[in-house]
Chains A and B, each alone.
Chain A
């Protein structure tokens, strides 16, 4: 797709957004997102979100198709002239093991390429992803850019190879909000809900002392890309606790970053439709962000008495005194 056709495609959608509103939900991602958010507390919803979602998805798709049509030299020009980097880009120049943690947000595939370009292509790139997730588009993007991309499958062998790659100083790309199997997940708070997420990012970061850099790439209307490189999360600062607690805390910190960006611009995240299926709401009488977790835990235990019977240690926690933090 050349630049003219890409701009025409974007302009066509902008001109027909009102007509697009007549599409049924099966063809309108904005309506599906709006519907998925109906049970999410404090979620921004409405017609404006529907329009922005379909606009974002279309712009991301067109941008990706446009970049796929470039050759290597044109792509360098694209990254120099059409990509705006924001945030602290110094982590990309770090020599330490580096994990780029990008959610499925906006034009994430092109965003990975932009981040690699910003690192002046100094490091070999590895993509660590679940075996069940298709990566054809991402692989094609890297091929067009003339970059070697090693694909590592999740699982024991893939994790070992990923750790080795990090220790060699290579870069690892991961998408912590994308997984195909719910078994190897842990639960963290996210938008006031308890959401299942992949634990591999935190696991590899702690094993290798890597820095985790959240990256968000959002498309612009004129075939531009905005890449936000968020403040890195240093795995070395999670010291003192046992491994499982460190994995939980690092994952929670990472998803807290995701949440803050998604609250500001929710239309770009591709995971809203999955959120009701991959998370559970907290009892409406409580809030994970305000309440002490103990109060939420008590409500959970009262709703699941058979679990408390099986695990008597939970009963001791239920009876623990609740310290009410003054607000």
Chain B
């Protein structure tokens, strides 16, 4: 119990320290946080005092965190700042909650295995060169990145290093465990397998339709089934 109380005080102090660091700074910064209750509370406090853009994801869009007015899709944040040399608002990113493997994602080593993370933070850093802060062990640390700007994987690894260190021993209030599992290679394969099964279902329904091009449909079904076998689904 004493450890919990001590941890609570440490968190409260770290939130206060973070606010004292971020609020007075004249320029807008990029803040990379883990999806924990305390970090979400910090984001909420920041949004009360400054204009902020919080990355949208399954956790930040939940009404309980009262971030609805500040939440934006990563692409929207990039577009909003694209015509300017500097960030137009404080950008608060929660990378561990965002799941995907499209072209805007890249696999990087994380917690001992490959995980797919969005290149959003790296894109902002390369374009605008903001100060970047991250929460690590209940304290705000600044991330230096000038020496890794030439390499996207190295830059992403540098930006996410504090998050990785934080999640080596995840805090009790960390909320993105399921999201992180889906970001792993096995999670990505599992999602791809399920998407392909759905496409196979729709193709097989289409194969029974009047006016269906049987050759194209059977070729597509065979290609999907073959890909599923590679993913170990059949």
Chains A and B are bound partners:
yes
> Which A residues lie at the B interface, using CB under 8 A?
182-183, 185-189, 194, 196, 244-245, 248-249, 252, 280, 288, 292-294, 296-297, 300-301, 304-307, 310-314, 316-317, 320-321, 323, 325
Chain A contacts of B221 at CB under 8 A?
A: 244-245
Chain B contacts of A312 at CB under 8 A?
A: 223
Chain A contacts of B201 at CB under 8 A?
A: 186-189, 194, 248
6 closest residue pairs by CB, A with B: A293-B205, A187-B201, A323-B211, A297-B202, A313-B220, A313-B223
A320 touches B199 (CB 8 A): no
User: Measured between alpha carbons, how far is A144 from B201 in the docked complex, in Å?
Assistant: 42
User: Measured between alpha carbons, how far is A304 from B194 in the docked complex, in Å?
Assistant: 12
24 contacts between A and B (CB under 8 A): A183-B193, A185-B197, A187-B200, A189-B201, A194-B198, A194-B201, A196-B197, A244-B221, A245-B207, A245-B221, A248-B204, A252-B205, A293-B203, A293-B205, A294-B212, A297-B202, A297-B203, A304-B199, A305-B102, A307-B195, A311-B220, A314-B220, A317-B220, A323-B209
B216 touches A313 (CB 8 A): yes
In the complex, whether B128 has a CB less than 8 A from a CB of chain A is: no
User: Interface stretch among B2-10, B31-39, B77-85, B224-232?
Assistant: B224-232
Give the number of residue pairs across the A-B interface with Cβ within 8 Å. 97
- B 60-94 contacts with A by CB, 8 A: none
A293 touches B209 (CB 8 A): yes
In the complex, whether B219 has a CB less than 8 A from a CB of chain A is: yes
In the complex, whether B196 has a CB less than 8 A from a CB of chain A is: yes
Within the complex, which residue of B101, B205, B227 is in contact with A311, where a contact is CB–CB below 8 Å? Answer: B227
User: Measured between alpha carbons, how far is A205 from B210 in the docked complex, in Å?
Assistant: 27
User: Measured between alpha carbons, how far is A325 from B208 in the docked complex, in Å?
Assistant: 14
User: Measured between alpha carbons, how far is A325 from B198 in the docked complex, in Å?
Assistant: 23
User: Measured between alpha carbons, how far is A7 from B194 in the docked complex, in Å?
Assistant: 46
Chain A contacts of B131 at CB under 8 A?
A: none
Within the complex, which residue of A182, A294, A306, A314 is in contact with B209, where a contact is CB–CB below 8 Å? Answer: A294
Q: A292-B209, A297-B199 are in contact. Are A245 and B204 (CB under 8 A)?
A: yes
B225 touches A244 (CB 8 A): yes
Q: A297-B203, A313-B223, A317-B220 are in contact. Are A280 and B213 (CB under 8 A)?
A: no
Chain A contacts of B216 at CB under 8 A?
A: 313, 316-317, 320
Chain B contacts of A293 at CB under 8 A?
A: 202-203, 205-206, 209
User: Measured between alpha carbons, how far is A313 from B224 in the docked complex, in Å?
Assistant: 9
In the complex, whether B114 has a CB less than 8 A from a CB of chain A is: no
Chain A contacts of B213 at CB under 8 A?
A: 320
User: Measured between alpha carbons, how far is A313 from B195 in the docked complex, in Å?
Assistant: 16
A307 touches B192 (CB 8 A): yes
CB distance from B136 to the nearest CB of A (A): 32
Chain A contacts of B197 at CB under 8 A?
A: 185-187, 196
B206 touches A292 (CB 8 A): yes
Residue on B with the closest CB to A325?
B210
Chain A contacts of B207 at CB under 8 A?
A: 245
A316 touches B198 (CB 8 A): no
User: Measured between alpha carbons, how far is A297 from B209 in the docked complex, in Å?
Assistant: 13
CB distance from B33 to the nearest CB of A (A): 28
A306 touches B220 (CB 8 A): no
Q: A187-B200, A296-B202 are in contact. Are A311 and B224 (CB under 8 A)?
A: yes
Q: A186-B201, A311-B224, A320-B213 are in contact. Are A304 and B232 (CB under 8 A)?
A: no
User: Measured between alpha carbons, how far is A252 from B203 in the docked complex, in Å?
Assistant: 13
In the complex, whether B217 has a CB less than 8 A from a CB of chain A is: yes
Chain B contacts of A252 at CB under 8 A?
A: 205
- Scoring B residues 119 to 149 as 1 if CB is less than 8 Å from chain A, else 0, what string do you get? 0000000000000000000000000000000
CB distance from B35 to the nearest CB of A (A): 21
CB distance from A250 to the nearest CB of B (A): 12
Chain B contacts of A323 at CB under 8 A?
A: 209-211
In the complex, whether B1 has a CB less than 8 A from a CB of chain A is: no
CB distance from B84 to the nearest CB of A (A): 29
A306 touches B198 (CB 8 A): no
Within the complex, which residue of A182, A186, A306 is in contact with B103, where a contact is CB–CB below 8 Å? Answer: A306
CB distance from A318 to the nearest CB of B (A): 10
In the complex, whether B111 has a CB less than 8 A from a CB of chain A is: no
